[in-house]
Amino acid sequence: MGYQDVYDSWTSDPEGFWMEQAQAIDWDQPPSKALFDRGDHLYEWFADGMVNTCWNAVDRHVEAGRGEQTAIIYDSPITHTKRWITYVELRNRVATLAGALRAKGVEKGDRVVIYMPMIPEALEAMLAAARLGAIHSVVFGGFASHELAVRIDDAKPKAIIAASCGMEPGRVVHYKPLLDGAIEAAAHKPDFCVIFQREQEVAELTPGRDVNWHGFQYGVEPADCVPVEGNHPAYILYTSGTTGQPKGVLRPTGGHLVALNWSMKNLYNVDPGDVFWAASDVGWVVGHSYICYAPLIHGNTTIVFEGKPVGTPDAGTFWRVISEHKVRSFFTAPTAFRAVRREDPNGDFIGKYDLSCLRAVYLAGERADPDTIQWAQDKLNVPVIDHWWQTETGWCIAGNPLGIEELPTKLGSPAKPMPGYDIRILDEAGHEVPAGTLGAIAIKLPLPPGTLPGLWNAEARFRKSYLEHFPGYYETGDAGMIDEDGYVYIMARTDDVINVAGHRLSTGGMEEVLASHPDVAECAVIGVSDQLKGQLPLGFLCLSSGVNRPHEEIVKECVKLVREQIGPVAAFKLACVVDRLPKTRSGKILRATMVKIADSEEFKTPATIDDPAILDEIRTALQGLGYAKA
């Protein structure tokens, strides 16, 4: 069957299609049907099946005789460490950790926040929670205390599992003070924290609250897998919206297992036993789906890579890992390839390694610029596949399913919709536009298995963010088009979300932080184009009257404030002081116009602008930062 046959087989019988895919999962009690329509545009998948994620990701492979296969390869050029963990070792480690969590009171439905770097123990913590039917919420290590506190208050975890430190090139990230600060700031307090002490830094435990990862597992009874309902949340993953309050995306257990398992062969073209590598971080959705769950569910070997594309130690790291561990399919963000290419434009490092094991490269997380794809294709001589998805969907919306058929590549397009996704391009009024016309990208409901059925404790926000604008559709927040051949093109976000080095960030969240500076009366943050990271945040600050301190000082404090409040990952380093912000007569800040000026693009002065002269002031300020050159 080719791509079109598979897609058509889903269209003609969605229920039958997904029930067939569900057979690849080990259910304690198989679901009676696939789709559960809850009314009012809410849907669930496999809701009455009983199943356990950890069983499917770990134990069943041991039972099936794959116990001695490597499940996880840990490769850390930052700490010069490599480790191999077999499926049987993983099963034993996870069962014991789950037993220790259970002994301290963690049960099905309890939340467990995980704040850990790229070490195998992060995956073990996720799997141990899943083993008990507890709901984990992993927080990316590049987020600071305030962001962690916001997530703690929303998820209300019974336990937090953290490492003593993370390792960034040239600096140790001290997790413990960040964790302590977050717990102090949060209104909700966890019952206990588990601290994994890394060799690089041993953190002092807080008496009465913290336990040692090794110590608290001593002598406990390993825990068996607890079957949960198909619609039971496997995890909550927070992602950026338009405000500083992140959205808690829910991932239900049954659909997650079925969709991820399907994707491994059909999209990523790997068979059980093959080595699959996603060079991301467990704190992001790519890490959840394709470092932890999908490869393990499918019986692959996954790689936990603690390093960067460049500088750890050089631009050949990716190729060294691929060749050494015999990676078959490799997944990363375009920004990582841009970083490698900048240091090694001719691909000299590539020539030093035997990459004959590599069959394809997959890019996602941000728009893949054709230049980067072409460079990678030329240098690596394998298909380089752009595919589009979001934290909300948990797996690919549009891509090129190499395991079914290699569709001809069209540069700039992540190819075609995956089964389960009926993608439409709509105008503002919700009418479909002709092929080749730009519009809002929407997906006809229901979304497929594995995608979000809602937000954690925020149904009204879920409806407002995704369902209300186009009734009967899920609003993706992306704009783009579909051409005559059915290829999808993703052009821009329709909201205030920006994408910095493949990391999704909220300009609204940064504005909230800047507005809290005592000298700032008003502010705006926009995303300006950046050759390496895709976009960078840039802030405009209007000062309160009577403030006459040096502007550089205030800018410096603001940059520091964002780093302290949101975290280094915000990469907020550009800001300037302006007298006024350009606004419409009704008071809306004209951010899109400022982006065009910054990127030296042509623009039309909006007819509704209050005072066009302000745009010149903005241009001058941007030129001072090296933007708005034309």
Q: Using CB under 6 A, which residues numbered 350 to 389 contact ligand COA?
A: 365
DSSP-derived pairing of the beta strands 439-444 and 473-482: antiparallel
Site membership for ligand COA, residue 26 (CB under 6 A): no
Residue 424 CA to residue 481 CA, distance in Å, equals 9
Q: Give the tokens for residue 614.
A: 């302000």
* SS3 sequence of 101-117: HHHCCCCCCCEEEEECC
Residue 380, H or E segment: helix 370-380
Task: Among 132, 380, 384, 571, indicate the residue that binds ligand COA (CB under 6 A).
Answer: 571
The amino acid sitting at 270 is V
Write down the least CB distance from residue 368 to ligand AMP, Å. Answer: 6
What is the DSSP annotation of 408-420? PP-TT---EEPTT
Taking CB under 6 A as the criterion, the residue among 286, 360, 558, 566 binding ligand COA is 286
Q: How far is the CB of 345 from ligand COA (least distance, A)?
A: 15
Choose the contact partner of 142 out of ligand COA, ligand AMP, none; CB within 5 to 8 A by kind: ligand COA
| Half-sphere exposure of residue 499: CA atoms within 13 angstroms, side-chain side | 22
Q: Is 281 in the site for ligand COA (CB under 6 A)?
A: yes
Task: Please return the burial class of 434, using the count of CB atoms within 10 Å of its CB with bins 0-12, 13-18 and 19+.
Answer: exposed
- Tokens of residue 538, six digits: 């840039």
Strand partners, 119: none
135-138 and 111-115 beta bridge pairing: parallel
Return the residue of 231, 269, 329, 335 that touches ligand COA, per CB under 6 A.
335
Angle, helix 370-380 to helix 334-343, in steps of 10 degrees: 70
> Does 527 contact ligand AMP by CB under 6 A?
no
Contact with ligand AMP (CB under 6 A): which of 233, 252, 365, 439?
365
Q: Does residue 496 belong to the site contacting ligand AMP (CB under 6 A)?
A: no
The only residue of 133, 141, 252, 403 in contact with ligand COA, by rule CB under 6 A: 141
Residue 493 contacts which entry, ligand AMP, ligand COA, none (Cβ below 5-8 A, type-dependent)? ligand AMP
Look at residue 499 and give the partner it binds from ligand COA, ligand AMP, none, a contact being a CB closer than 5 to 8 Å depending on partner kind: ligand AMP
How many residues contact ligand AMP, by CB under 6 A? 20
Gap between the Cα atoms of 67 and 75, Å rounded: 21
- Residue closest to 99 by CA, chosen among 134, 73, 147, 50: 134
Task: Give the nearest distance from C-beta 178 to ligand AMP in angstroms.
Answer: 22
Query: Collapsing DSSP states into helix, strand and coil, what is residue 214?
Result: coil
- The interface with ligand COA within residues 304-333 (CB under 6 A) comprises 308-310, 333
507 binds ligand AMP (CB under 6 A): no
- Does 399 contact ligand COA by CB under 6 A? no
- Does 372 interact with ligand AMP (rule: CB under 6 A)? no
Coil, strand, or helix at residue 609? Answer: strand
Beta strands in 320-404 (DSSP E): 327-332, 360-363, 384-386, 398-399
Q: Which does 569 bind (CB under 5 to 8 A by kind): ligand AMP, ligand COA, none?
A: ligand COA
Q: Taking CB under 6 A as the rule, does residue 532 contact ligand COA? A: yes
Q: Say how far apart CA 278 and CA 290 lie, in whole Å.
A: 6
The residue from 288, 504, 583, 591 that contacts ligand AMP (CB under 6 A) is: 504
Tell which positions 492-511 bind ligand COA, by CB under 6 A. 500-503
Binding part of the chain for ligand AMP, among 275-283, 366-374, 511-519, 547-555 by CB under 6 A, reads 366-374
Question: How far, in Å, are 350, 508, 582, 609, 610 from residue 585 at the CA level?
Answer: 55, 21, 10, 6, 5
In whole angstroms, give the CA distance from residue 120 to residue 498.
Answer: 30
In the bound state with ligand AMP, the residue whose beta carbon lies nearer, of 412 and 568, is: 412
333 interacts with, out of ligand COA, ligand AMP, none, CB within 5 to 8 A per kind = ligand COA
Partner whose footprint covers residue 137, from ligand COA, ligand AMP, none (CB < 5 to 8 Å by kind): none
Q: Which neighbouring-strand residues pair with 577?
A: 541
Side chain identity at 174, as an amino acid letter? H
**Which spans of this chain sit near ligand AMP (rule: CB under 6 A)?**
239, 285, 364-368, 386-391, 414, 477-478, 490, 493, 499, 504
**Which spans of this chain sit near ligand COA (rule: CB under 6 A)?**
117, 141-142, 166, 168, 173, 280-281, 284, 286, 308-310, 333, 335-336, 339, 365, 500-503, 532-533, 568-569, 571
